[in-house]
Structure 1
Amino acid sequence: MLPRFVGRLSLADVVTTANASLGFVAVVVAFQDVELAARLVLLAGIADGLDGVVARYSGGSKVGPYLDSLADVASFSVAPAVLVYATASATWTVSFDALTARAVAAMVLPALFVAMGVVRLGMYTAYDTADEYTEGVPTTLAATILSAAVLCGITSAALLLAATGAFVYLMVSTVRYPDLLARDALLMGVVHGLAVLFPYFYGRTFPWAILTLALAYLLAGPWFYWRGGRVLAKWYGNA
C-alpha cells in the first residue's frame, strides 16, 4: 500500500519538506557548532524561496500553503530560537537547578519567539497568502537576522536575546511588509548562498551583507519599499 501523499504532493512540496528537515538538523548541531547551525538556517531560507519558484513553474498542490507554514515553524521559529538559546547558554550559566534572571531570559524569550512565530504563521496562512503584503515581521526575516548575526561573530547573549524579544512583538504586530519583487528576492537568495558557502571570506563579508540587507528591509521596508517597489514592479511588468 502506497503512502497517502503519493500523487498528491508536488515537486515544490518536496523542497518545502527539505526546508523543514534543514531546520531539524540545525537544532541538532546548534550545541556543537552554532555557526554551522546558523548556516543551515540560512540554507533553509534558500529552500523556502526556491519552493515558490518551483511551484510557479511546475505547479503546486492544495496542501502546499499548509506545508510551507509547518516547515517554517521548524526552520524559522524553532531552529533560530534554539540557536539563540545555545549561544546564550554557552556564554551564561543556564541551569534548571539555579534559575537566575539570565537563565530565565535565555529560556523564556526563545520560547516566546517560537510561540509568536507559530501564531504569526497561522495568521499568515489564514489571511495573507493572497495579498501582496503580510502583517508583522516575517519569520524568515527574523530567522535570517538572528542567524546572520551569529555567523557574523555576534555572540553577545544580551544582544541576541534583546533582538529575540523584539521579534516576539514584531512578528505579531500590524506593520505591513510588502512582498519582495522577484529581482530583490533573487539578490537575497544569492547573498544567502554566498554566506552559506563562504561564511569566512574576507572578514565574513557575505554574512555581514545579508545581515545589512535584512536589517534594511526590516527597518525601511514598510515605509519605503512600498513606493519604490510598486513603481519598479510596474516597470518590470510584475504589478
Structure 2
Amino acid sequence: MASRPRVVAALSLADGVTAANAALGFLAAALAPLSPALASRLVLLAAVADGLDGVLAARVGATPVGEFLDSLADVASFCVAPALLVFSAAQSGWGLSAIPGEFALALAVPALFVVSGVVRLGLYTAYDTHRGRTEGVQTTLAATVLAAGYLVGMRMPTVLLAASALFAGLMVAPATYPDLRVRDALVMGVVQVGAILAPTAFFHVFPRLLLACALAYLVFAPWLYPSAGEGKRT
C-alpha cells in the first residue's frame, strides 16, 4: 500500500492550526498599509491560533515538527506583521515621503523588532520549548500589546516606535516568563475574540481589557505568576 505524503503523515491537527497562524500573519502584514486596524485584529486572531495549537497539542497529541512550525509561524505573525503595522502607522502619521530622518527611524525600529523577535524565537526553540518557562518577553505578548494598543487609540508614531524599541530589548532580556496555564490561555482567548469581533463595543472594552491583562502579565509575571510546569508543546 502506498505511503501517505510526508507533509500529511508528519503533521497533526495542532500543526494545521499553527500553519493557519502563519497565514494570518501574512494577511496581517499584507493589509497593514491598507487597514492597520484590520491588521491589528488579524494579529490578535493569530494569537488565538497560537494558543489553540498548544491546547490541541496537549489534548490530542503533538508531533516532533510542531515546535519548529510554531516558531516559524510566529516569525510571520508576531515579528513581521506587527513591525509592518508600526511602520505603516508611522508612515501614515508622519507623511514620511518628504522627511528622510523620520522615514529611516520608522524603518530601523521595526527592523530591530523583527531581528530581536527572530533571535528570541530561535533561543526559545533551542532551549525553552519543554521547560514551561522562557527567558525574554514572548513575541506573542509583544505583538498583542502593539495590536491591542492600536485598537484602543495608541496610534501616535512616537508611541508605537518607542513601544517597539522597548520590546526589541525586552524580547532578548534575561527576565524569566512562565508559560500561560491552559485555563488562563482560554480566558485570554475569549477576551481576544471579543477584541477581534467587536473592537469598538462599549468604548473599546475588549481591547482595553486585553491590553490591561497583557501589560499586567508583562510587568508582574516574572515574580507573581505561578509556573505552569509544562512546555507549550507538551
TM-score, scaled relative to structure 1: 0.91
Verify: 1:63 aligned to 2:96, yes or no.
no
Aligned length: 227
TM-aligned CA deviation for residue 184 of structure 1 = 1.4
Verify: 1:203 aligned to 2:207, yes or no.
no
SS of equivalent to 1:177: strand
Deviates more, 1:64-73 or 1:182-191: 182-191
What is the letter of the counterpart of residue 104 of structure 1? A
Report the Cα distance in structure 1 between the residues aligned to 2:129 and 2:109, rounded to whole angstroms.
28
Corresponding residue number in structure 1 for 2:135: 135
TM-aligned CA deviation for residue 59 of structure 1 = 1.1
Render the CA deviation track for 1:86-120: whole Å, top value 9, x for unaligned. 1010001223x7522x2111100000100110000
Corresponding residue number in structure 2 for 1:99: 100
TM-aligned CA deviation for residue 3 of structure 1 = 4.7
Mapping for residues 125-204 of structure 1, pairs under 5 Å: 125-204=125-204
Corresponding residue number in structure 2 for 1:16: 18
Report the Cα distance in structure 2 between the residues aligned to 1:196 and 1:98, rounded to whole angstroms.
34
Moved over 4 A (4+): none
What is the percent sequence identity of the aligned residues? 54
Mapping for residues 26-45 of structure 1, pairs under 5 Å: 26-45=28-47
**RMSD, aligned α-carbons:** 1.6
Render the CA deviation track for 1:114-167: whole Å, top value 9, x for unaligned. 011000000000000111210000000000000000111211100010000001
Asked if the contact 2:195–2:206 (Cα under 8 Å) also holds between the matched residues in 1, the reply is yes
Report the Cα distance in structure 1 between the residues aligned to 2:46 and 2:75, rounded to whole angstroms.
12
What is the letter of the counterpart of residue 114 of structure 1? V
Report the Cα distance in structure 2 between the residues aligned to 1:87 and 1:36, rounded to whole angstroms.
12
What is the letter of the counterpart of residue 148 of structure 2? A
TM-score, scaled relative to structure 2: 0.93
Unpaired runs of at least 5, structure 2: 230-234
Unpaired runs of at least 5, structure 1: 235-239
Higher relative contact order (CA 8 A, sep 6+): 2
